[in-house]
Structure 1
Amino acid sequence: MSTIGPERLEDRLSSAESPYVIDIRPREAYQRDHIEGSHNVPVYDDLRGGDEAAFREALSDVPAERTVVTVCKAGIVARTATTILEDEGYDAVTLAGGQRRWNGYQNGSLGYRLRSALGGLLP
């Protein structure tokens, strides 16, 4: 399973081949902060609990010709979403570190810079 870091995602979002970003966090979390242009498919709790039906049902809106990036809070539950997308034939990747890492990157946080400098040795 592939992942994408926030730097690369930012580059891809501004390109002609922009990926389709699915944020699987609950609606309240998505409303607080999210990646601009992302689509909220709030099935985080369903996937964490093992219920894939709601997520699979939402896939009908996902364009098959675009790479799909899945986002959750920290990048863990989104892996399940990525696996489901791959099983359905989509080119899908997970945002490494999830929304937390994206926010750290966007805000230039010290924690993000340290993790990047240490090559991901820190959680």
Structure 2
Amino acid sequence: MSSISQITPEQLKNRLESGESVYMIDVREDEEVAQGMIQGAKHIPMGEIPARLQEIPTDQEVIMICRSGGRSQRVCEYLSLQGLDNMVNMQGGMLEWNDGEA
């Protein structure tokens, strides 16, 4: 299995601030995203990923986001097994994203 590419919250913020169009999927549960999401991210809870594969682009990089980076890493690994090799995990998840907001 190929290793999953990683991006830090700081790297992602820099890309978004420079105006780059970035496809992001937040795999947290409803009650978690109610506390805030990265603007522009699409919400697909982890448990719904297998049923919603058709919503995930295969022709561009997709950054997966969760609370701490663990679930999004597992989603990236799962999607890699499904033949999607353009998945990127945001290390540290929203905990680190929000930490940098201070």
- TM-score normalised over the length of structure 2: 0.83
- Asked if 1:84 corresponds to 2:78, the answer is yes
Equivalent-residue separation in structure 2 for 1:86 and 1:58 (angstroms): 15
Segments of 5+ residues of structure 2 without an aligned counterpart are none
Question: How many pairs are equivalent?
Answer: 98
Listed as ranges, the matches of 1:11-90 within 5 Å are: 11-14=14-17, 17-43=20-46, 46=47, 54-87=48-81, 88-90=83-85
Whose Rg is larger? 1
Other structure's SS at 1:93 match? strand
Q: Of the candidates 80, 91, 95, which is equivalent to residue 96 of structure 1?
A: 91
Percent identity reads 30
**Can you list the C-alpha shifts for 1:16-47, whole angstroms capped at 9, x where unaligned?**
6522111111111112111111111112xx3x
Give the number of the structure with larger relative contact order, counting CA–CA contacts within 8 Å between residues 6 or more apart.
2
Paired AA for residue 105 in structure 1: G
Distance, in Å, in 1 between the alignment partners of 2:76 and 2:18 is 22
Higher helix fraction (1 or 2): 1
Q: Distance in 1 between matches of 2:58 and 2:14?
A: 21
C-alpha separation between the residues in 2 aligned to 1:83 and 1:57? 16
Q: Distance in 2 between matches of 1:32 and 1:84?
A: 26
Query: Aligned to 2:5, which of 2, 9, 12?
Result: 2
Gaps of 5+ in 1: 47-53, 108-123
Mean Cα deviation higher: 19-28 or 83-92 = 83-92
